[in-house]
A and B are shown apart, each in its own frame.
Chain A
Amino acid sequence: MTALLTVENLDARHGLLHAVRGVGFTVRAGETLALVGANGAGKTTLLRAIAGAHPPAGGRVLFHGRDLDAMPAHKRVALGIALVPEGRKLFGQLTVEENLLLGRAAGRAGAWDVDTVIAAFPNLAKRRHARAGTLSGGEAQATAIGRALMTNPELLLLDEVSLGLSPLAVDRVYASLATTMSGGTTIVLVEQDLTRALRVADRVVCMLEGRVVLSGRAAELTRDEITDAYFGLRGKVAA
């Protein structure tokens, strides 16, 4: 399998804070990569840099081997990179359906349209014409993911989908994502729940204070290894 996404020595800043330091990893087509790490480790900034929403201070992001350089976010969506941002960032005054329809702007053809998205997230069926600002946490997350799916991405970036959701809602979201994951879409997801991350991911990358401190196949890493890396007790980088 070829590398779909390569992050090379990426640096990113948040004002004076050096949020991402020399991060590098590869994601192959069809893989699911879990990005774990404590709050403030730089995961959100990293995802935003890949999506084009945050200008990197150094390093490169390569998609299909092509350096994305300073390409703006909306052009990356046309290429096939979609980010479900932290905090959902729905357009509250627009309805669920309108939020989804926005995803058509990228003009990418594919299996996803409003009906298939609602089929994948059945809890949205009744809320189709409701203002996005009135949705519950789980419904909002479903809409945000659906909106990204509507762009028919090759690479789906998910930032903390379980944030603020009840365990039941999280289960539902992941159940809906299961088909996407097995269907060939490449996914990079940020997940605080280690058990769930290990369950759904093929590979895991652990970040601490902006750096990668551990990476490897989910099947080959133990919980303890990851927890140690998470808290900075020991570092190990595997292929």
Chain B
Amino acid sequence: MIWLNQLIQGVLLGGYYALIACGLSFMYGVMRIINMAHGSLAILAAFALFVLADQYDVSPFVGLLVVLPAMAAIGWVLHRAVLDRSLNGGFLMPILSTFGLSIVIDNLLFQAFGADTRSLAPYIGTLSYDSWTITDDISVGQLAAGTFGLAVLLLGGLQLFLSRAPLGRAIRAVAEDPDTVGLVGIDARRVSAIASAIALVTVGIAGACLAMRATFDPYAGAPQLIFAFEAAVIGGAGSLWGTLLGGVVLGVAQSLGAQIIPQGFLIGGHAAFLAILLARLNRGGLRWPRRWAA
């Protein structure tokens, strides 16, 4: 029964991973850029919400109304100032640019907030530990369930946006062939900047969920980036739902690993990731979201 509980916890954790992964996946799908500052930006959002809650008594949920538009703006600027320009140095340069950016963000956060771990849990009432008890061994956290539900809603919403909205269509076209879109009157750079803004909104949401369910510190960005990446790669297929699947697989691998040995949480996740990577390579061809399918 303990194993079943761990399985369920893993699945729910997967919902969070899907949230943090979808922005990374989205940005890679549209612009072929891996944003190494992805995790750091999620932590930035978390700290912003923390400051609003701690110093201005603003509930994190209300705080999101301020932080999310700010994240969108950051996404836009990020694309214009960094991502677009770094491509001039070659298609590998954005990895190095965003890596440098992540170091700047992490250390500026450290400078501002110090090494203490923080959490948004105290500011959301009892939500961080409320749960539904199913049996003696199995309980489902309300926040975890909510996060999972939010992930499904967000992914579904994004999917709908991509398949129905004119802008979503434009984003898919840019993802497939950025050079030709100009010929039909679409400004590829503008569309990419918008996609970047959308990606960062999801990053902000993920940062909020992380901060509510756990603690965070200025250097927590790196692990989040790795988890996001692992979930996205495990999910593999070129659709957003693959990200949910990837998140769940990662969450389950971690949770089951933790049952085996205490350090098994991280080891389980990394091992599962590498194993799947290996299996895919041997099957011939690794598929990382290449294009944005409806």
- Which residues on A are within 8 Å of B, measured CB to CB? 51-53, 72-74, 77-78, 82-83, 85, 89, 91-94, 98, 101-107, 147-148, 150-151
Contact: B183 with A98, CB < 8 Å?
no
- Ordered nearest first, which 8 A-B pairs have the shortest CB separation? A106-B185, A77-B185, A73-B182, A89-B180, A74-B182, A105-B185, A74-B187, A105-B186
| Residues in A neighbouring B262, C-beta threshold 8 A | none
Distance of B66 from chain A, by nearest CB (Å)? 32
Cβ of B90 within 8 Å of any chain A Cβ, yes or no, is no
Question: Cα distance A82–B186 when bound, in Å?
Answer: 12
| Partner among B166, B176, B183 whose Cβ is within 8 Å of the Cβ of A93 | B176
Chain B residue numbers with a CB within 8 Å of A151 are 184-185
- Report 28 cross-chain contacts, Cβ distance below 8 Å, ordered by A residue: A53-B179, A53-B183, A72-B182, A72-B187, A73-B182, A73-B183, A74-B182, A74-B183, A74-B186, A74-B188, A77-B182, A77-B184, A85-B183, A91-B180, A92-B176, A94-B176, A98-B169, A102-B170, A102-B186, A103-B184, A103-B185, A105-B166, A105-B170, A105-B184, A105-B186, A106-B184, A148-B184, A151-B184
CA distance A101 to B294 in the complex (A): 15
With known contacts A91-B177, A101-B166, A51–B172 Cβ distance under 8 A:
no
Cβ B185 vs Cβ A91 within 8 A: no
Look across to chain A and name the residue whose beta carbon is closest to the beta carbon of B182: A73
Write out the residue numbers on chain A whose beta carbons fall within 8 Å of the beta carbon of B186.
Answer: 74, 102, 105
Measured in the bound complex, the distance between the Cα atoms of B25 and A11 in whole Å is 41
Residues A91 and B183 in contact in the complex (CB < 8 Å), given A101-B166, A104-B166, A105-B166: no
Q: Is the CB of B169 within 8 A of A94?
A: yes
Partner of B169, one of A53, A101, A147: A101
B215 CB to closest chain A CB, in angstroms?
Answer: 41
A103 CB to nearest B CB, Å: 5
Q: How far is the CB of B26 from chain A (nearest CB, A)?
A: 15
Q: In whole angstroms, what is the CA distance A74 to B185 when docked?
A: 4
Q: Determine if A91 and B166 form an interchain contact, defined as CB atoms under 8 angstroms apart.
A: no
Q: From B179, B180, B186, B188, name the one whose CB has the most chain A CB atoms within 10 angstroms.
A: B180
Which residues of chain B are near A51, meaning CB under 8 Å? 183
User: In the bound complex, what is the Cα–Cα distance between A101 and B183 (angstroms)?
Assistant: 13
Q: Does B181 contact A (CB under 8 A)?
A: yes
CA distance A196 to B55 in the complex (A): 76
